[in-house]
Chain A
Amino acid sequence: MRLELRGITKRFGSLTANDNISITVEPGQIHSLLGENGAGKSTLMNVLFGLLHPDEGEIVIDGEVIKFADSGEAVRRGIGMVHQHFMLVPVFSVTENVVLGFEPTKSLNRIDYKKATDDIRRVSKEFNLEVDPDAIVENLSVGIQQRVEILKALSHDAELLILDEPTAVLTPQEIEALMAIMRSLAASGKSILFITHKLKEVRAIADVITIIRHGKVVGTAEPTASESELASLMVGREVELSVQKDAYAPGQIVFEIRDLVVRDDRGLAVVDGVSLDVYAGEILALAGVQGNGQTELVEAIAGMRRIESGTITMNGRDITNETPRNILDAGLGHIPEDRQRDGLVMTLSVADNLVLNTPRRAPFASHGTRNLGAVAQHAEQLVKDFDIRTTSVKEPVSSLSGGNQQKVIVARELSRNIDFLVASQPTRGLDVGSIEYVHRQIVIHRNRGNGSLVVSSELDEVYALGDRIAVMYAGKISGIVDPSTSREDIGLMMAGTTVGALSD
């Protein structure tokens, strides 16, 4: 289909998320929408998919102006969406998920599962997306789950496929496979709208690139444009694409993990014999696609998940299976993966959040009573030192932007006199300015001679920060290499090839 967005504007109170956006997607075209986190891409997609109604502007499909009442209608009109966070019901089977809302029925409103399964197999074969219709979705790997999402869209006869940040959860090889699927879909006449903030992917796959910044279209580009050109369009200024680090001069081993085994809620070993060392003055970057045990590894380090066997030693002290309280007191700094759930208490004030890990430590409290004055003073100091943008330290932290919320966590941890820092996906969902800031802070910590473990599924970040790179796959370490290793090789390791088996 030929899709035109004309002058789409959407406001939320005083915030204009989309400001007069006009885009055209031709049939058979892979059109990429490039913008950093917070630029307004998700809002635009929700408008296109019928989940939001635009305040101004219109959507034109094949020359006809359309108004979607809800997303069911968008689907019926041929728009299919592959969401960033999958819209799949975990306990349902692939079939149930694919047909949801459009189920074939027999008498008495019964679902005709046979017909459904046959249809799925047909579409699956047509577009070369292998899935087992009877598998339960929560048992499938993330890459396969994404295929189910795509299948879902295609089985509703989508002519336009919107893919919202699809590569966050894929290995480089899986990204290649996805791109091949996109090319073949485009070749068969489907239009593809591919939303991302990743410069490399955009240049690899897009036919046309539209760049969005602060809710406005700031330009279009060809995939031949350089990364730095695209980056500066995306951010509006010259972007430093790498981080300045002092020379790499590792000291003693400050952090040791030996043969760690951790089980998940269902009893499977999600961390299956992991061993690694981190030296003083070093950042060890742990790469790997999400879902291979990194989350559980960090939880185990922080004392939030039980360790079945193996040891963790920090500065010579065994912290295996200690309580989170003891581990934090022993000098661990923790930037959790899900900042709003584990890192902050959204309804409490900025000041309270800034002492969250040490509320009883002097001078914040004595004899069981809190010293609110000291807490406020501490907060004021940190807001200044770390440039946290907030109207007052008494404001609930939920009123801060994502970037500033992360700054609160970073400020709290790095000002706490910690020895070792564990940061899990520290820049997820942040705008470029905040990303630069967080990276700088971590490097400062490193330059002072402390050790850090940074877990990230963003290869750019891994390369930028890591003095050494470890790769995790299926609960094991595929290998620990230096940053001169090629992306292809790291990609292979992310998919399971051990370092010894890499071809030279």
Chain B
Amino acid sequence: MTIAEAPTNSVPKIAIHNTRTKVIGGIMIVLALFVIFVFAFGSSPGAHSQLTFDPVNTTNAPIRLGTLTVLTRWCNLILGLAMLGLGIEVFWRQPRRGVMARFGSVAVLMLLALLFWAVRTPGPSQISYVNLTSILVGSSEVVMVLIYGALSGVMCERSGVVNIAIEGQFIAGAFIGTIVASETSNFFFAAIVGAIAGGLIGLLLAFFAVRYLVDQIIVGIVIVTGISFFSAYLNQQVFTPYPNLNTGNIAPSLPIPLLYKIPIIGPLFFNQSGFFYCMIIFVCLVSFALFKTRYGLHVRAVGEHPDAAATVGINVARVRYINVALGGAVAGIGGVAFMASQGQFLPDYTSGFGYIALAAMIFGRWRPSGAVVASIIFGMGVYLAANLQEFSVPISGEILQMFPYLITIAVVAGLIGRVRPPAADGMPYIRD
């Protein structure tokens, strides 16, 4: 039983709902005003920004769309007014559902306005255009990894086991993946081996949590710490003497004929690596399995009410072992995917993505579809924060680094009280 239960009991939900919604609405309005006064009126009347759609990588390029030039001030004013409208709606009408979706939209609009403002000419930036396609494609790499992680989290937690070790599974997958990819140049094999590594870690977690009833969060943290340092150790012992084992290389893009020519959508969905396509397949598979099949019903029963499941003959421990192992395997593949987008392994370069993925899982209400939406929002945030420096945004680079993590904190703080994890999530199942 967490301490968080105590505060929620003392204030009925409707009261919390109102205060929190008002606060969120207020924040939205403040952001909108910021956009209007700084990004809209802060641009000179004649300034214009350019929006381009052609990806940087010209192989398998889609149909050219050319450049769209907008007047910065008016464009941002429109964006700001849209944000204001949403903010006022949330603050005033306090809708019961979809508050976070509206907030997410406001965040996206604000980022767009920020970008337009940053690239305005005349202006301080070297770059005078916003390349929508390359932003989308660039962030899709981060989003992909987050989805792998969040999906892993969903699979584990739906059966009642908290998997804090996703970060460790990423690292392990990336490490093993680069070795296999360097030796065989075959990313498929790398993925398989990465899956096995992740699965074994999952089994370790399940072993301690299910069989020996150790607190799942503790086990997870200790495992991640161990793996993090083990990989640094091996990085020294293995990669320094044999650097040819760490030339993982970037996974090739596999364009889907015809479809890849569609502007914007083409490069984003139909000209990606195999890992991207697999991710989409996994999401669909897990959704289907969890909500339509017999297996999925058993899993969810174990995660909600293990006693009820046990009394109809379901083996709670076995369900948890299987699910956590599979979840670990998915995270392992995610680690390989990350490595394949970076080209090599570096210690700790996963930078907390495993934990952001967990936040995405919570945001997504433990559903694969929700996890996808949440990962998109978080992923774009991470990508933009990392790349905003190019646009000479007058915020120091180090501060920009903070943003993904600050956003994660804000999201996690803004949601609780309205999310319902699987009822037995994190609770060890004790048989008499």
Residues of A near any B CB (own CB < 8 A): 46, 49, 51-52, 70-73, 75, 81, 83, 87-92, 96-97, 100-103, 105, 108-111, 262-267, 299, 304-306, 308, 341
The reply to whether B304 and A51 form a contact with Cβ atoms under 8 Å apart is no
B319 shortest CB reach to chain A, Å? 12
A122 shortest CB reach to chain B, Å? 20
A425 shortest CB reach to chain B, Å? 19
Most chain B CB neighbours (cut-off 10 Å) among A96, A110, A266: A110
A361 shortest CB reach to chain B, Å? 23
Residues of the A chain whose Cβ atoms lie less than 8 Å from the Cβ of B293 = 108-111
Q: Is B2 an interface residue (CB 8 A)?
A: no
The reply to whether B308 and A89 form a contact with Cβ atoms under 8 Å apart is yes
The reply to whether B12 and A49 form a contact with Cβ atoms under 8 Å apart is no
**13 pairs from A and B in contact (CB 8 Å cutoff):** A46-B432, A87-B305, A87-B308, A88-B308, A89-B309, A91-B420, A100-B297, A100-B309, A100-B314, A109-B294, A265-B8, A265-B9, A305-B9
Residues of the A chain whose Cβ atoms lie less than 8 Å from the Cβ of B432 = 46, 51-52
The reply to whether A91 and B9 form a contact with Cβ atoms under 8 Å apart is no
Residues of the B chain whose Cβ atoms lie less than 8 Å from the Cβ of A83 = 311
The reply to whether A111 and B294 form a contact with Cβ atoms under 8 Å apart is yes
Residues of the B chain whose Cβ atoms lie less than 8 Å from the Cβ of A263 = 12-14
* A102 CB contact (under 8 Å) in B1, B311, B312: B312
Considering only residues 97-114 of chain B, those with a C-beta below 8 Å from chain A are none
Residue of A nearest to B12 (CB): A263
The reply to whether B301 and A265 form a contact with Cβ atoms under 8 Å apart is no
- In the complex the two chains form, what is the Cα distance from A491 to B432 in whole Å? 37
Residues of the A chain whose Cβ atoms lie less than 8 Å from the Cβ of B218 = none
The reply to whether B305 and A88 form a contact with Cβ atoms under 8 Å apart is yes
The total of Cβ contacts below 8 Å across the A-B interface reads: 96
Q: Is B313 an interface residue (CB 8 A)?
A: yes
Q: Is B310 an interface residue (CB 8 A)?
A: yes
Considering only residues 273-332 of chain B, those with a C-beta below 8 Å from chain A are 292-295, 297-298, 300-301, 304-305, 307-315
The reply to whether A91 and B304 form a contact with Cβ atoms under 8 Å apart is yes
A255 shortest CB reach to chain B, Å? 22
Residues of the B chain whose Cβ atoms lie less than 8 Å from the Cβ of A88 = 305, 308
Residues of the A chain whose Cβ atoms lie less than 8 Å from the Cβ of B204 = none
Q: Is B413 an interface residue (CB 8 A)?
A: no
Quick one: given A105-B294, A111-B297, are A305 and B10 in contact (CB under 8 Å)?
Answer: yes
The reply to whether A70 and B313 form a contact with Cβ atoms under 8 Å apart is yes
Residues of B near any A CB (own CB < 8 A): 1, 8-15, 292-295, 297-298, 300-301, 304-305, 307-315, 420, 423, 432
Q: Mostly helix, strand, loop or mixed at chain B's interface? A: helix
Q: A70-B313, A91-B420, A92-B304 are in contact. List 10 more A-B contacts (CB 8 A).
A: A75-B312, A87-B308, A91-B423, A92-B300, A100-B298, A109-B295, A110-B292, A263-B12, A305-B10, A306-B12
- In the complex the two chains form, what is the Cα distance from A105 to B314 in whole Å? 17
Residues of the A chain whose Cβ atoms lie less than 8 Å from the Cβ of B1 = 341
B307 shortest CB reach to chain A, Å? 6
A347 shortest CB reach to chain B, Å? 13
The reply to whether B12 and A71 form a contact with Cβ atoms under 8 Å apart is no
The reply to whether B12 and A87 form a contact with Cβ atoms under 8 Å apart is no
The reply to whether B13 and A267 form a contact with Cβ atoms under 8 Å apart is yes
* B9 CB contact (under 8 Å) in A73, A81, A102, A304: A304
The reply to whether A89 and B304 form a contact with Cβ atoms under 8 Å apart is yes
- In the complex the two chains form, what is the Cα distance from A504 to B162 in whole Å? 60
Most chain A CB neighbours (cut-off 10 Å) among B298, B307, B313, B420: B313
Residue of B nearest to A321 (CB): B10
Quick one: given A265-B13, A305-B9, are A75 and B313 in contact (CB under 8 Å)?
Answer: yes
Quick one: given A91-B423, A100-B301, are A71 and B294 in contact (CB under 8 Å)?
Answer: no
Residues of the B chain whose Cβ atoms lie less than 8 Å from the Cβ of A87 = 305, 307-308, 311-312
- In the complex the two chains form, what is the Cα distance from A442 to B315 in whole Å? 46
Residues of the A chain whose Cβ atoms lie less than 8 Å from the Cβ of B10 = 304-306
Residues of the B chain whose Cβ atoms lie less than 8 Å from the Cβ of A81 = 311
The reply to whether A100 and B308 form a contact with Cβ atoms under 8 Å apart is yes
B4 shortest CB reach to chain A, Å? 13
* B12 CB contact (under 8 Å) in A97, A111, A265, A341: A265
Residues of the B chain whose Cβ atoms lie less than 8 Å from the Cβ of A264 = 12
Residues of the B chain whose Cβ atoms lie less than 8 Å from the Cβ of A91 = 304, 420, 423
Residue of A nearest to B308 (CB): A87
- In the complex the two chains form, what is the Cα distance from A194 to B248 in whole Å? 68
Residues of the A chain whose Cβ atoms lie less than 8 Å from the Cβ of B304 = 89-92
Residue of B nearest to A105 (CB): B294
A-B pairs, top 6 by smallest CB distance, nearest first, are: A72-B313, A101-B312, A87-B308, A263-B12, A109-B293, A267-B14
